[in-house]
Structure 1
Amino acid sequence: MRAVQSMFIHNYLMSLQGSDAAFYYMRDAVSIVQLLRIDNPENAAQISPPERSRRQRLYWQAYIHERFLAILHYRQAILPPLYTLPEDDPTLSIQVHEGFNQTIKLFRLLDREFLNSWLDSQGGSVTSTWVEAKSRELDGDPEADARELSMLSMMQRADLSITREWLRTLVWRLAMSRTLLSSRSSEECLSLLFPVRLSQTLRQQVSSMSRQDIEVHGTSITQKLFEITDTIADVLIHVSAATLDETALRIDDFLFILDFVLRIPHLDQTRRGILLEKLERLQTMFPEALSNASSPSLPLDLRSPGDVNDP
């Protein structure tokens, strides 16, 4: 119970931008989880199956939160992946059990090598080969993934889909920081334009989901969407399209996602300001492409006069 309480307080403080205090409570939760020794198979074998499954879920919950915090605030993570996924628990529905397992599998991709590279400003072990391999892991088996997703609710699918795109963005950002990208690369993960293509995919995914199915996941999914949108904006600003028509298509996808993110209640003013500042830069660079922007979440001076109703 103490570990769960600490993780709850951690989540609450994260929503208030209290990163240092949130880190303290996350470490408190991790310490308690370690004291349970669920990572020791011999010790775990002495516990009843229902309790063992419960503790395994607790371990993985702490693991996921700690990895997310490590990426978001450049912190060290302590917990290694557990030797097993949570065992079946008859008190849980298959849908809940499978959904949690899918989340675990995604966050296991944030392995020690990934985190070390994320924290290492000198480059670490990131190479083109590593980026391609990590991207293949993220791609997974489309047929198997489709079967597994088919048994999940739309709320679960929303979380998994956006988390996967967020992880793809992280891998791309690592490649960018190591100057591994090229506009001519045949590998999508090593292309300068990858975020632009991702914006098309994300738009399709978001269009197929209800806003409630996405927003129910709170500040964590808001942060993921913010980072994806921010990355797309940077590419639009710094990588020019070949034609005006192509520019218009890129801007259109970006505005759709931007509008969606700006409407999320959990988006704080700092992140909102960052996105709007980049929108202003895009308007300066591509005034024609943005002239038809009619989103109610965009500032009035960034919309065309015809979209503003007279009082």
Structure 2
Amino acid sequence: MPRQNIATTACDACRRRKVKCDTQQPCARCQSAGLVCRTTSVPRKKGRQGATATVLQELRKSPAQTEALSTPSPRDYGRSGYFIRSPGLLTPIVIQSCAEYFFTRMLGTVPILLPALFQTHVDHMAESLHSYCLVCAFCAFVFTQTGYASWHNPANPSSTLGRSLLEEAMTARRHLDPFTAPSRLSITTSFLLYGCQIGMGNQRQAYYFLREATTLYTAGILDQPGTGVDEDPGSLFWLLLISERAHAIRRHRPITLEITPDSPVLDDTHSDASSVGFRCLADLYRPFNQSFLSHWNGTETSFSKELLIQLEEHLRQAVPADIELPDLLLADLRVSQQWLRTMIWQLATTAGFLSSTPSHPCLDIRYPLQIARELSLATWKLSRESMEAHGVGLVRSLIRRKSSSQAEKRKVEKIFEITCTFADVMACLSQSRLRASGFDLGPQDYLKHLCTLIHGLPGGDTKFLPLLLAKIGQTLPSMLAPLSRHLSLPLTDSAPPETETVSPVGFGNDWDKDFNWAEMSRIGDKTPELEGTLQFG
């Protein structure tokens, strides 16, 4: 069709769509969209004036455009204009492999999607940008949370593919209004993006999406029936509650979800391993409410030893020692249980409740030794595959960064917080107390096991083991050489020989003679070597 006169201003359709017009008559954009291209010089009122003021109304009326929208298209029109999908990124084999991995290994700890309903979103993602965004976020979640190897494309590592999928999901999300989708779909997408950002180490972005998910939940839009994408109506609430409270403890953030008589209840009629494991995980975090966080953040100081003892007893009962669950579920439960026990001990340390003759084991100065022992025994029994299923999440939990502020001093990341606290207490003991006795294992054995665990997990040897060795070199310099030999690492010139720790004098019993009170007073001090190494939000 030959071009006609050239206009001096953009046509009406391009102006309403806020896209660049080539000022031809008709313009290229109107031709491709099947719209009537006209330019009027009559001033028009601002805002929408009837059905013809919305270009989408004209697009819907166009038979050619209706047919185009019903077929798979790489372009989606949203509130911010067209979104162009990246070709060859979200392939069927990527979706299939991620779904198999998630529903086989992760559903017990992240019960947020059913396989059948996820497949429904896969089937509709060609015409639904909401579904496409969810599937992208789902696959990115699997890659970024687990370090799952991209076996279908060895040239594209899982970290690179996970980052690309996350960028695709984030770009698609910017074209969507979360309130135009079913409520649970929006919440699920927000949660998956939260997990992706956690896996990438973007703590600020992660908190944004976690807060968005909990805010959407508390907004009351879940009252709409028939919009669920989770198996148990209560599982979404408890998954958000667990994630929010764990994040609040690590990052000293506020929480929005509280347990009330009207809160959803997990269905206890299911006896399958996934349901039992998730109920135990929810029970672990149940008492860590705003009242605890007020004590933890230092805004409330009027609490007693009895409160900490009650929390400790609750943690022990929430996950019985003889519970029979698959290794994949036990790995997450045991790590979370021992981490929360460490949090209680740290709070007791801040409050000055620790004693050499405590009324309860959790108030014992040496309590982290017992926690490290139980964690080591638990992980020794678990298969390596069960630990790698939580891969980056577990390794990332092995980081503790200290700083001069009170909040930064207690910034923790699960297992490494246990390990660092364990190393701090080990530094207070004499060399004789660190070694094994007879057939019993000693603290040195547990420390070697935890270092081996970090060394063997994906990314641990390159990113996190050097930080751990730097920490040990500062608190336990005599352990650097044996640890390096144990891990088959080259010895550094700075590794000092093994020497006996000099015990303090002036105490009246054998326990006091083997405990270095000067070292105990330094627990929680700033660690210059680790400061600034990790960039957390």
TM bucket (normalised to shorter chain) is 0.7 to 0.9
Aligned-residue offset at 1:88 = 5.9
CA distance in 1, matches of 2:278, 2:318: 18
223, 233, 236: which one pairs with 2:426?
Answer: 236
1:294 to 463, 485, 492: 485
What are the Cα deviations for residues 119-156 of structure 1, in whole angstroms up to 9, with x where unaligned? 12x662332121111111112178xx356x32x21211
Of 262, 278, 283, 2:471 maps to 278
**Aligned-pair distance for 1:14?**
1.3
CA RMSD of aligned residues (A): 3.0
Name 1:128's counterpart in structure 2: 305
Query: Bigger shift: 201-210 or 256-265?
Result: 256-265
Contact preservation (8 Å) 2:342, 2:418: yes
The answer for unaligned runs of 5 or more in structure 2 is 1-184, 398-413, 436-441, 498-537
2:474 maps to a residue whose letter is R
Cα distance, 1:293–1:64 mapped onto 2, change above 3 Å: same
Alignment of 1:195-206 (within 5 A): 195-206=368-379
Distance in 1 of aligned mates of 2:271 and 2:305: 41
Give the SS at the match of 2:282.
helix
The answer to whether the 8 Å contact 2:339/2:415 transfers is yes
Give me the TM-score of the superposition, normalised by structure 1.
Answer: 0.80
Say whether 1:182 aligns with 2:359. Answer: no
**292-301 vs 60-69, which deviates more?**
292-301
Aligned partners of 1:113 and 1:125 also within 8 Å: no
Structure 2 residue aligned with 1:138? 315
Deviations 1:239-298 (Å, cap 9, x if unpaired)?
223xx32122322221221221233225497754442212212453x36x9547533275
The CA deviation string for residues 36-87 of structure 1, in whole angstroms up to 9 with x for no partner, is 455xxxx5xx957x87964321111111111111011110011112634323
Q: Match for residue 7 of structure 1?
A: 191
- Do 1:33 and 1:58's aligned partners in 2 also have CA atoms closer than 8 Å? no
Give the distance between the partners of 1:240 and 1:52, measured in 2 at CA: 50
- The equivalent of 1:308 in structure 2 is none
Partner of 1:245: 432
> What residue in structure 1 maps to residue 265 of structure 2?
85
1:158 aligned to 2:331? yes
Instruction: Say whether residues 1:118 and 2:296 are aligned partners.
Output: yes
Secondary structure of the residue that 2:485 maps to in structure 1?
Answer: coil
Cα distance in 2, alignment partners of residues 221 and 102 from structure 1: 19
> How far has the Cα of 1:214 moved from its partner?
1.7
Shift of the 123–51 alpha-carbon distance from structure 1 to 2, 3 Å rule, reads closer
Residue 108 of structure 1 is matched in structure 2 by 286
State the secondary structure of the residue aligned to 1:55.
coil
Cα deviation 1:146-202 (Å, max 9, x = unaligned) = 56x32x212111211111111100100111111111223242100110001221111
The 1:197–1:54 alpha-carbon spacing in structure 2 relative to 1, beyond 3 Å, is closer
Preserved contact between residue 230 and residue 236 of structure 2 (Cα < 8 Å): no
Summarize the Cα distance change of 1:262–1:291 in structure 2 as closer, same or farther, 3 Å threshold: closer
8 Å contact kept, 1:66–1:77: yes
One-letter amino acid of the structure 2 residue matched with residue 132 of structure 1: I
In 2, Cα distance between the equivalents of 1:99 and 1:206? 17
Contact 2:242 2:285 in 1 (8 A): yes
What's 2:233 paired with?
55
Is 1:256 the equivalent of 2:449? yes
Q: Which whole-Å CA distance do the structure 1 matches of 2:463 and 2:302 have between them?
A: 33
**Closer/same/farther in 2, CA of residues 35 and 123 from structure 1, 3 Å limit:** closer
Equivalent-residue separation in structure 2 for 1:66 and 1:141 (angstroms): 19
Q: Aligned residues, how many?
A: 286
| Mapped partners of 2:304, 2:463: distance in 1 | 33
| Residues 455, 461 of structure 2: 8 Å contact kept | no
Report the Cα distance in structure 1 between the residues aligned to 2:277 and 2:429, rounded to whole angstroms.
40
1: CA distance between counterparts of 2:242 and 2:449? 29
* TM-score, structure 2 as length reference: 0.48
Distance 2:249 2:333 in 1: 17
Equivalence for 1:23: 207
Q: Give distance in 2, aligned partners of 1:33 and 1:76.
A: 16
Q: 3-state SS of the aligned residue for 1:140?
A: helix
Retained in 2: the 8 A contact 1:123–1:178?
A: no
Query: SS of the residue aligned with 1:231?
Result: helix
Q: Quick check: 2:376–2:446 contact (8 Å CA) kept in 1?
A: yes
The one of the two structures with greater contact order (alpha-carbon pairs below 8 A, sep at least 6) is: 1
Q: What is the letter of the counterpart of residue 275 of structure 2?
A: H
Moved more, 152-161 or 123-132: 123-132
| 8 Å Cα contact 1:131-1:175 kept in structure 2 | yes
Aligned 8 A contact 2:348 2:354 in 1: yes
Q: Which runs of 5+ in 1 are unaligned?
A: 305-311
Q: CA 1:141–1:98 in structure 2 vs 1: closer, same or farther (change >3 Å)?
A: closer
Q: Larger C-alpha radius of gyration, 1 or 2?
A: 2
Q: CA deviation at 1:6?
A: 1.0
Alpha-carbon distance between aligned partners in 2 of 1:264 and 1:51, rounded to the nearest angstrom: 32
Instruction: Kindly report structure 1 stretches of 4+ aligned residues shifted beyond 6 Å.
Output: none
CA distance in 1, matches of 2:459, 2:196: 12
